[in-house]
């Protein structure tokens, strides 16, 4: 008689997964949202885009900017081998972010630190708010 040991072997993992989904809803959720997750912020001078992309270097991705959109695309490759457990996501990704502020396309800069990409887009002169002095009569 041949017993499929594979299914027995998977049991602790499957149990662990169900347990974690019930008691720790935050786990595995990150992979289900659009990849990469981003934060967008601004101050008076710049628009900032932060993206969480662990394991990627600037060379592994393409960042394109047009007057309207910012496109981040690339591929995340995982090491080859016999996987004992696999939870990290891999493959080709693309994210298009619409910008509704005029930015100085030629002076956009990008940097990467601890797996977080930061793009700084200086606002074009015309979109920096100007204070209008109001005279009260």
Q: Which residues bind another protein (CB under 8 A)?
A: 20, 24, 26-28, 30-31, 33-34, 37-44, 48, 50, 52-57, 78-79, 81-89, 112, 114-116, 118
Minimum CB separation from another protein for residue 93, in Å? 14
- Can you tell me whether residue 99 is helix, strand or coil? coil
Query: Residue for token digits 């939870």?
Result: 87
Minimum CB separation from another protein for residue 84, in Å? 4
Q: Which one, 24 or 66, has the nearer CB to another protein?
A: 24
> Longest Cα pair distance anywhere in the chain, in angstroms?
99
Minimum CB separation from another protein for residue 88, in Å? 5
Q: Which one, 21 or 104, has the nearer CB to another protein?
A: 21
Tokens of 87: 């939870």
Minimum CB separation from another protein for residue 105, in Å? 19
Alpha-carbon distance of 74 to 116, in angstroms, equals: 15
Q: Which one, 44 or 137, has the nearer CB to another protein?
A: 44
Q: Which one, 73 or 115, has the nearer CB to another protein?
A: 115
Interacting residues of 72 by C-beta distance below 8 A, sequence separation 6+: 36, 51, 61, 62, 63, 93, 94, 95, 97, 117
Interacting residues of 132 by C-beta distance below 8 A, sequence separation 6+: none
């Amino acid at each position: 008689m041949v017993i499929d040991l594979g299914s027995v072997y998977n049991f602790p993992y499957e149990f662990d997964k169900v347990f974690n989904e019930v008691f720790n809803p935050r786990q595995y959720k990150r992979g289900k949202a659009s990849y990469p997750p981003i934060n967008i912020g601004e101050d008076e001078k710049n628009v900032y885009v932060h993206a969480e992309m662990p394991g990627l270097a600037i060379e592994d991705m393409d960042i394109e900017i047009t007057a309207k959109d910012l496109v981040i695309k690339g591929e995340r490759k995982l090491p080859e081998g016999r996987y004992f457990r696999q939870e990290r996501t891999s493959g080709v990704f693309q994210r298009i972010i619409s910008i509704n502020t005029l930015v100085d396309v030629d002076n956009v800069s990008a940097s990467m630190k601890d797996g977080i990409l930061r793009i700084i887009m200086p606002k074009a002169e015309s979109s920096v708010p100007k204070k209008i002095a109001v005279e009260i009569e």
